Amino acid sequence: MNRKISGPFTKEKLADLKAGDAVLLSGIVYTARDAAHRRMTEEANAGQPFPFDLTDAAIYYVGPSPAAPGQVIGSAGPTSSYRMDPYTPQILDGGVSVLIGKGPRGPEVIDAIKRNGAVYFAAVGGAGALISQCIKSSEVIAYEEYGTEAVRKLEIEDMPVIVAIDSAGNSVYER
């Protein structure tokens, strides 16, 4: 049975989720991949603000394909999350509470998830066309020059995900 969770994604809403739980997510989600993560952390280290408020925010590791005529977005399947691991602890410490991608995470990320009461959700790889149907709006908000890897603000409705790592650090990849 799927649980439904809507943003903002507060630590209180996430606290009772357990690794393996099926969830339908709704609300605002930001997209960011490798290049955007690198740039956001470099800019933050230089004293510049992030391109969006990290407080209780969700980041989806996706580089969607271009939208066909009449569509909000193209295929929007998750990318491998480990590539964001060098930047993720800083972003979690900045207030992000939800990460969405695919694949296992490193020990530093798991420690940051526990430290911050965050949750890492796995979206189904290969299901980008299905996931794109859950995206109701898409707007580039930063790094437009990165093309598909630009930071976007998405409004999602009932996006199917699985709790891959819960706020206590329990992982479906460790079972």
Q: What positions carry a catalytic annotation?
A: 37
Query: CA 169 to CA 70: how far, in whole Å?
Result: 41
**Cβ 78 vs Cβ 100: under 8 Å:** yes
* Buried-state track 126-147, b at ≥16 Cβ within 10 A, e below 16: eebeebbebbeebeeebbeebe
Query: CA 104 to CA 149: how far, in whole Å?
Result: 21
The token duo for 124 is 């189904």
The token duo for 74 is 């193209």
CA–CA distances in Å: residue 4 to residues 22, 25, 95: 9, 6, 22
Amino acid at 48: Q
Residue count of the chain: 175
